[in-house]
Amino acid sequence: MAKRVQLVLSQDVSKLGKAGDLVEVAPGYARNYLIPQGFGARTTPGLLRQVERRKELERQRLLAEKQEAETRKQALETVGRYTIAKQAGEKDAIFGTVTHQDVADAILEATKQEVDRRGITLPEIHKLGSYKADIKLHPDVTATVEIQVVAS
């Protein structure tokens, strides 16, 4: 069996890796395709140090994003209750429903923090009352807030 060759990718290559990744490939694939096309470069000690430094910077950036999301979670949860006014009919039934955009607007109005409406998970809301909503701020951080639906 032929020896594998280590390369550092300079561009994203489908089914192989992203730019900056350290990959092991067959020598013919490296020699005949990746290196001539400019998709990769042979590893050197200096190049390996650059890859490690890039990985460390990326890890620090991801950690900072997570800490920022934790701070935003705390700010959203300390407000306590967000109020949304809707027209109501008989037996506290509201006309229409409370949407993700309604919740995002209520949060923006109360805290001046913009929240992506696609990250909000709501139960079905068709009556006045109090409900819990989950807001995904980061893949590892989810805030739970209370939504109060009142008659306008």
The yes/no answer on whether domain 5-63 falls in CATH 3.40.5.10 is: yes
Angle at 144 between CA 130 and CA 137, to 5 degrees: 140
Q: How far apart are the C-alpha atoms of 126 and 65, rounded to whole Å?
A: 35
Reference 39, options 71, 16, 5; nearest CA is 16
- For 21-76, how does the pLDDT look when each residue is reduced to its tens digit (9 = 90+)? 899 999 999 999 999 999 999 999 998 898 889 889 999 999 999 999 999 999 88
Q: Where in the chain is the domain with CATH 3.10.430.100?
A: 66-151
Q: What is the mean pLDDT of the chain?
A: 91
Q: Where in the chain is the domain with CATH 3.40.5.10?
A: 5-63
- For 124-146, how does the pLDDT look when each residue is reduced to its tens digit (9 = 90+)? 998 999 999 999 999 999 999 99
| Helices marked H in 38-150 | 45-79, 100-111
The reply to whether the predicted model has a pTM over 0.75 is no
Residue 2: phi and psi, rounded to 5, are -70, 150
The pLDDT of 86-90, averaged and rounded, is 89
Give SS3 for 13: strand
Homologous superfamily of 66-151: Ribosomal protein L9, C-terminal domain (3.10.430.100)
